[in-house]
Structure 1
Amino acid sequence: MNEHFEIPPHITAQTPIIPIIRAWEIYLQDQGKSPYTIKSFISDLSLLASYLPPDRAVGEVTTRELNNFLSWLQYGRGVPCSPKSLARRITAIKAFFRWLYQNGRIATDPAEKVIQYSAISPLPQVLTLEEEQKILEVAESYRHARKPDARPFTLVSLLLQTGIKKGECLNIHLNHIDTSNPEAPFLFVRYSHPRNRYKERKLSLTPSWIEAYHEYLEQYQPRETLFPWSARRLEYLLEDLGEEAGLTKHLSFDMCRWTCALRDWLSGMDREQIRQKLGVSKIQWREIGMKLQRLANEVTQQQ
């Protein structure tokens, strides 16, 4: 139960869903949920509210009505509903009614017995060893050009070594990189919200990366964050590297992250270590681990 946000007293079992949605949105924000998750969950609940009779009190909603709503989404709405979208909508409904039930606003939780579908999205694209090497060679060539530029190598090599997410990369401050021990430098991935503290971690960096990093610092002289550009600008940089390396794939932050995880998996790294390196929860790891196993099987079959 949330210890910061209190449900307003005027919300009771007799209140329709629509007036409650704004309070739930504030609760989700208070819990540190991502803007994308909040936007999706609010949209999902608004869709449920529009499906139910406008005067239906939240305490009168039944499990049968919720199942009928989910069936309508799949077969009666006339708009495609992917397995991933369906799974997310069920998660939103369950979270919403559980929140009301745990806070004593409804006597029973109608969503408790709704079956939770887990949708496994398609396998992500990863780089082959040859493709990864070509990208690093292109990035390395920039360091030795007539006008040396260490930024491409500093960025892509960091992503392939650490597997950090785009948001984590953009949030790196210069004091998050520790070079006090030249033989064992590391990156400290930090989060501002206490709810995300479990994602914080120390990731090893190679001395060769530190060498490029110092070149980059001298060339660009960033003051606070390591990469003081927009996410889109860095995405373009990765895309350009991929094109110059002759890739038919779309080089991205996500592709680098999965490539890093797969390399660690194939190297025999302890699975729990990989999970911790990626900064994901044990629940998230279930799907990620399954995907890595399937990717590893594909690599083995191709050899």
Structure 2
Amino acid sequence: MNEDSTVPGFITPETTFPAALHAWELHLKNEGRTTNTLKAFISDLQLLASYLPPDRTIGFVTTADINSFLSWMENERKAPCSPKTYSRRVTSIKSFYKWLKGNGVISEDPADKVIQKSVISPLPEILTTVEYQKVLETANAYRTFSKPDARPMALLQLLLSTGIKKNETLGISPNHIDLEDPDHPVLYIRYDSPSNRYKERKIDLPLDWITVYHEYMAQYPVTKTLFNYSARRLEYILEEIGAGAGLTKHLSFNMCRWTSAVHDATIGMSNEELRTKMGVSNIQWREISAKLLQLKEIYMPMNVEERAS
């Protein structure tokens, strides 16, 4: 009998891909996978199924079939396949067949010996130390307008000091901000999905941000979430700050996250502290830490003029 209740008894090696993928989708939902992950994983397996002969069922796919599919996808398919997409599709296929084998549907896993290529994504774009100060000054200036607006500074300083992601920013509630100790305010990052619990963490907040936070709360009373706006609206606020600061680059959530990490690494935060603060796994940290070493040179360009200043 299958150990996983999301694997119906009718699924056998002779089952077609559509029927098996429906059951796998239920399994992924029960694991707490995000909607985007579900769509991507199912789409990846549907692409594999469309490549194989129409009568090929889930239990009669070989390692050679999978490698042939990956070669076609990388070299022959008209639609381009980025290294990141290629890597995800290999992960999707491996996950699907590991699930089938783990529940006794198949005796051999054809994806087990498929090689997962290491994919190193390009270096992210970050702010330099000069740009860092410029965007903060620009955001802070909104607080002194004839109609004061603390929202730009509340958002930007929070991102640059904590390095949180866009979805984490959207999920912050006022009760996630702990001001009980006035000398040590903290932000709690929470996740609803059990599969993301390892990302939950406590991050120290800068004392000067608390003043901005209180101004923002007085101007924009909130009840459910701290930033009760769409993701696009918050992105627009960042873009407006960047334009006001004269940046030629696109100020974004991701740029703030990476700039925050490089800043922390530059001032001497330990690797383990920074990994925990970013909410990433040990495996993810390997690539991130290597990038941070390179990004330090961008963050603090050591030319003669800056050394003399």
Q: By the TM > 0.5 criterion, same fold?
A: yes
Match of 1:166 in 2: 166
Unaligned runs of 5+ in 2: 304-309
Unaligned runs of 5+ in 1: none
Match of 2:27 in 1: 27
Instruction: State whether structure 2 residue 149 is matched by structure 1 residue 149.
Output: yes
Instruction: State whether structure 2 residue 187 is matched by structure 1 residue 194.
Output: no
Counterparts of 1:1-303 in structure 2, within 5 Å, are 5-299=5-299, 302-303=302-303
Task: Supply the AA of the counterpart residue of 2:118.
Answer: S
Q: Distance in 1 between matches of 2:51 and 2:142?
A: 57
Q: Contact 1:150/1:215 (CA < 8 Å) preserved in 2?
A: yes
Task: Supply the AA of the counterpart residue of 2:235.
Answer: E
Q: CA deviation at 1:202?
A: 0.7
Task: Supply the AA of the counterpart residue of 1:267.
Answer: I
Displacement over 6 Å in runs of 4+: none
Question: What TM-score, normalized to structure 2?
Answer: 0.94
Q: Distance in 2 between matches of 1:131 and 1:63?
A: 50
- Per-residue CA deviations over 1:24-65 (Å, capped at 9, x if unaligned) read 112112212222222111111001000111111211111011
Q: What value does the CA root-mean-square deviation take over the aligned residues?
A: 1.6
Q: CA deviation at 1:144?
A: 1.4
Q: Secondary structure of 2:56's match?
A: coil
Q: CA deviation at 1:268?
A: 1.9
Q: Contact 1:5/1:30 (CA < 8 Å) preserved in 2?
A: no
Q: Contact 1:63/1:111 (CA < 8 Å) preserved in 2?
A: yes
Q: Distance in 1 between matches of 2:33 and 2:174?
A: 26
Q: CA deviation at 1:5?
A: 4.6
Change beyond 3 A, Cα 1:178–1:194:
same
Tell me the number of residue pairs that the alignment of Structure 1 and Structure 2 aligns: 302
Task: Supply the AA of the counterpart residue of 1:296.
Answer: K
Q: Contact 2:131/2:247 (CA < 8 Å) preserved in 1?
A: yes
Task: Supply the AA of the counterpart residue of 2:6.
Answer: E
- Per-residue CA deviations over 1:189-245 (Å, capped at 9, x if unaligned) read 111122221111111011100011011111111112111111111110000000000
Change beyond 3 A, Cα 1:299–1:251:
closer
Task: Supply the AA of the counterpart residue of 1:16.
Answer: T
Q: Distance in 2 between matches of 1:276 and 1:239?
A: 28
Q: Secondary structure of 2:269's match?
A: coil
State the identity as a percent: 55
Q: Distance in 2 between matches of 1:99 and 1:109?
A: 9
Question: What TM-score, normalized to structure 1?
Answer: 0.96
Q: Distance in 1 between matches of 2:186 and 2:83?
A: 39
Q: Distance in 1 between matches of 2:261 and 2:65?
A: 42
- Per-residue CA deviations over 1:135-183 (Å, capped at 9, x if unaligned) read 1111111111111111110000000000000111011000110111111
Q: Distance in 1 between matches of 2:248 and 2:239?
A: 11
